[in-house]
Amino acid sequence: MTDNFTDPMSAGVAEDAPVFVISVAATLAGMHPQTLRQYDRIGLVSPGRTSGRGRRYSARDIAMLREVQRLSQDEGVNLAGVKRILELEAHVSALQARLSEVLADLDAMHHEMARRERAVHQSYRRDLVPVDQGAVVVWNPNHPKRS
């Protein structure tokens, strides 16, 4: 295999596009094709399928396979542990995406509230001045003076 295929993204392929047959995916991930079949069976990686049921791996799948290999070989995590780690990482990613959405919504609401507040302030009558009710003194020119 030539060097420009060691990174699937260098070929200009979309990250989620299921384009690599199992033999190419195995080579890119540094594994045996049978290992990829087993990982598919236990749900570690779920490649796309062709109409004839052939597996097609994406660049994201290749990265996932490399992470499975790193966790199992370098970190000594068993496959059940690897599966749980991957599930938790996916959950964290989903939560981070949702948090970003909520923060964007909150920011939009703050901008809308500020816009409405400006509109209310612009609608005030300029001949009226708001005052603190506790500090109001009413002047009555007809009131008798105290000495």
What is the overall mean pLDDT for the chain?
87
8 Å CB contact between 56 and 18:
yes
Could you tell me the pTM of the whole model? 0.64
- Beta pairing class for 48-49 and 55-56: antiparallel
**Contact assessment for residue 26 and residue 17, using Cβ atoms and an 8 Å cutoff:** no
HSE of 53, CA atoms in CB hemisphere, 13 A: 2
| Cα 95 from Cα 102, distance rounded (Å) | 10
C-alpha 59, offset from chain centre: 19
CA 60 vs. chain centroid, Å, equals 16
For the CA atoms of 56, 62, 63, 67, the dihedral, rounded to the nearest 10 degrees, stands at: 120
pLDDT tens-place string over residues 30-83:
999 999 999 999 999 989 988 888 899 999 999 999 999 999 999 999 999 999
Token pair, residue 121, equals 């302030």
**Domains of the chain from N-terminus onward:** 3-77 (1.10.1660.10)
Higher pLDDT, 125 or 119: 119
Looking at residue 127, what is its pLDDT? Answer: 75
Query: Which pLDDT belongs to residue 135?
Result: 67
Q: What is the pLDDT of residue 96?
A: 98
CB-CB neighbours of 47 under 10 Å: 22
